[in-house]
């Protein structure tokens, strides 16, 4: 009984609300204070912003409460004077109509303002398919949303309580039940099946001959890129081999590793299937390339990959966006630490010829220093089998 009283107590609820509000403020202040780049001015601006909206909400609630009380008192005064009081049914009906109009305008505003902040033009094959799926789902749900809201609030207004009308008791109708069960079931089934096939295409994992394998490794706070050399194959990785020089832990017992290249920019040949092998070395990061509709977590100890085909070169996109400085970007989409915002890489989509020219100028991952560290020159200490394979690959 005591507990029931406690949770029903208005004082306890008010205290809880105040605590949650303050707690949220505190939390936001803390998360901001951990980011070094945020200046004191930014912090105070954020605090002012939060306080402003909390205050605005409280003032609006107070105004509604005061207006309601004034109406109630006016109503009672009228009744005391023997006059007819307010018709509360009409007031509530009009409130519903106002709510419908304001709510629909709010939805329209949200679509036009927030909608314009949606993702940029898709620059990959599967990106277009995902966008189509998103558009179809949004349009269908939007139609249902508008119709049901108009019906709901329209009925509340047109059939508001009245002394001249009696409510019609309508307990059950099988036909209506069937319609509103079968129609959504069919529409949802179509959406789910359509989504299932799109998802299957997006997550296509079958290896193909022309796939360009690129390794991307996330660590606090940068992305490392590794391209295959002339053999078109990337050498295997083993985290136990990681050293300051062999940052990715490339296994040089694997001959495919010898001609691997490291790069600063993620350069992709247009219209070619890219297989991005995703690794992480410390915490969970996330490879995010919004233009290509690519996002996949980089999980330490759990290599993943994603295959996609870029369709629009950077040069074409510069013309389309009318922005000569346009660059595709790769971000980290997991808040992975204090300098998370630093994890950005330029992605450049080029023609096949430009790609071949670029790749020919990339530095080998196996630097001279690394060769020394791995004792590549020390012929006596290596076994004859490994030595010959090393020589073979290095002479390529």
Residue 262 Cβ vs Cu ion, minimum distance, rounded to whole Å: 19
Closer by beta carbon to Cu ion, 242 or else 382: 242
Residue span binding Cu ion (CB under 5 A) among the ranges 24-32, 161-169, 245-253, 326-334: 326-334
Residue 335 Cβ vs Cu ion, minimum distance, rounded to whole Å: 8
Residue 119 Cβ vs Cu ion, minimum distance, rounded to whole Å: 20
Residue span binding Cu ion (CB under 5 A) among the ranges 181-189, 259-267, 283-291, 355-363: 283-291
Residue 99 Cβ vs Cu ion, minimum distance, rounded to whole Å: 43
Helix (H) or strand (E) holding 97: helix 88-113
Pick one of 202, 270, 343, 370: the residue that binds Cu ion (CB under 5 A). Answer: 343
Closer by beta carbon to Cu ion, 160 or else 226: 226
Residue 275 Cβ vs Cu ion, minimum distance, rounded to whole Å: 21
Residue span binding Cu ion (CB under 5 A) among the ranges 106-114, 180-188, 235-243, 280-288: 280-288
Residue 138 Cβ vs Cu ion, minimum distance, rounded to whole Å: 30
Interface map 46-85 toward Cu ion (x if CB under 5 A)? ----------------------------------------
Residue span binding Cu ion (CB under 5 A) among the ranges 91-99, 101-109, 133-141, 279-287: 279-287
* Site membership for Cu ion, residue 332 (CB under 5 A): yes
* Site membership for Cu ion, residue 345 (CB under 5 A): no
Exposure on the CB side of residue 386, measured as CA atoms within 13 A: 13
Pick one of 285, 291, 348, 371: the residue that binds Cu ion (CB under 5 A). Answer: 285
Provide the 8-state DSSP code for 236: P
Q: How many residues bind Cu ion (CB under 5 A)?
A: 4
Closer by beta carbon to Cu ion, 237 or else 287: 287
Q: Which residues pair with 299 in a beta bridge?
A: 302
Which three-class secondary structure state does DSSP give residue 127?
helix
CA proximity to 312, closest of 269, 273, 354: 269
Residue 260 Cβ vs Cu ion, minimum distance, rounded to whole Å: 23
> What end-to-end distance do the CA atoms of the chain give, in Å?
84
Q: Which long-range CB contacts under 8 A does 87-93 form with residues at least 24 apart?
A: 89/160, 89/161, 89/162, 90/160, 92/156, 92/160, 93/156, 93/157, 93/160
Closer by beta carbon to Cu ion, 285 or else 293: 285
CA proximity to 311, closest of 300, 302, 320, 303: 320
How many residues can be counted in the chain? 396
Closer by beta carbon to Cu ion, 287 or else 393: 287
What is the DSSP annotation of 145-211?
A: HHHHHHHHHHHHHHT---TT---------HHHHHHHHHHHHHHHHHHHHHHHHHHHHHT-----TT-
What is the DSSP annotation of 345-390?
A: EEEEEE-HHHHHHHHHTPEESS-HHHHHHTTSS-TTTS-HHHHHHH
Pick one of 248, 263, 336, 370: the residue that binds Cu ion (CB under 5 A). Answer: 336
Closer by beta carbon to Cu ion, 128 or else 299: 299
Closer by beta carbon to Cu ion, 280 or else 349: 280
Closer by beta carbon to Cu ion, 270 or else 332: 332
Residue span binding Cu ion (CB under 5 A) among the ranges 16-24, 169-177, 232-240, 284-292: 284-292
* Site membership for Cu ion, residue 287 (CB under 5 A): no
Closer by beta carbon to Cu ion, 95 or else 284: 284
CA proximity to 394, closest of 367, 356, 362, 354: 367
Residue 265 Cβ vs Cu ion, minimum distance, rounded to whole Å: 18
Closer by beta carbon to Cu ion, 256 or else 281: 281
CA proximity to 344, closest of 223, 240, 229: 223
CA atoms of 320 and 314, how far apart (whole Å): 10
Residue 327 and residue 314 in contact, taking contact as beta carbons nearer than 8 Å: yes
Closer by beta carbon to Cu ion, 214 or else 336: 336
Helix (H) or strand (E) holding 261: strand 261-263
What is the DSSP annotation of 57-96?
A: HHHHHHHHHHHHHHHHHHHHHHHHTT-----HHHHHHHHH
Residues at the interface with Cu ion (CB under 5 A)? 285, 332, 336, 343
């Amino acid at each position: 009984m005591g507990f029931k009283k406690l949770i029903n107590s208005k004082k306890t609820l008010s205290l809880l609300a105040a605590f949650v509000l303050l707690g949220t403020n505190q939390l936001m202040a803390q998360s901001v204070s951990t980011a070094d780049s945020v200046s004191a001015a930014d912090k105070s601006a954020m605090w002012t912003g939060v306080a402003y909206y909390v205050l605005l909400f409280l003032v609006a609630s107070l105004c509604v409460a005061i207006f309601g009380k004034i109406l109630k008192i006016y109503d009672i005064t009228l009744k005391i004077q023997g006059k007819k009081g307010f018709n509360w049914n009409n007031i509530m009906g009009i409130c519903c109509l106002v709510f419908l109009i304001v709510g629909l305008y709010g939805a329209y505003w949200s679509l036009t303002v927030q909608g314009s902040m949606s993702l940029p033009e898709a620059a990959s094959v599967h990106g277009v398919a995902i966008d189509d799926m998103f558009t179809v789902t949004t349009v269908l749900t939007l139609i249902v949303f508008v119709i049901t809201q108009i019906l709901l609030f329209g009925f509340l207004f047109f059939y508001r309580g009245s002394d001249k009308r009696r409510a019609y008791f309508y307990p059950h109708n099988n036909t209506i039940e069937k319609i509103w069960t079968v129609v959504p079931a069919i529409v949802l089934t179509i959406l789910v099946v359509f989504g299932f096939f799109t998802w299957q295409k997006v997550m296509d994992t079958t290896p193909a001959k022309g796939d360009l394998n690129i390794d991307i490794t996330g660590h606090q706070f940068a992305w490392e890129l590794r391209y295959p050399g002339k053999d078109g194959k990337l050498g295997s990785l083993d985290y136990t081999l990681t050293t300051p020089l062999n940052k990715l832990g490339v296994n040089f017992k694997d001959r495919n590793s010898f001609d691997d290249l490291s790069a600063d920019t993620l350069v992709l040949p247009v219209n070619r299937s890219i297989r991005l092998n995703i690794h992480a070395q410390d915490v969970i990061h996330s490879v995010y390339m919004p233009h290509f509709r690519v996002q996949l977590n980089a999980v330490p100890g759990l290599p993943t990959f994603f295959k996609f085909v870029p369709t629009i070169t950077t040069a074409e996109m510069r013309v389309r966006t009318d922005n000569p400085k346009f660059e595709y970007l790769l971000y980290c989409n997991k808040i992975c630490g204090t300098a998370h915002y630093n994890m950005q890489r330029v992605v450049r989509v080029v023609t096949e010829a430009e790609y071949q020219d670029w790749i020919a100028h990339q530095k080998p991952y196996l630097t001279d220093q690394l060769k020394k560290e791995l004792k590549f020159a020390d012929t006596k200490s290596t076994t004859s089998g490994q030595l010959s394979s090393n020589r073979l690959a290095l002479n390529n």
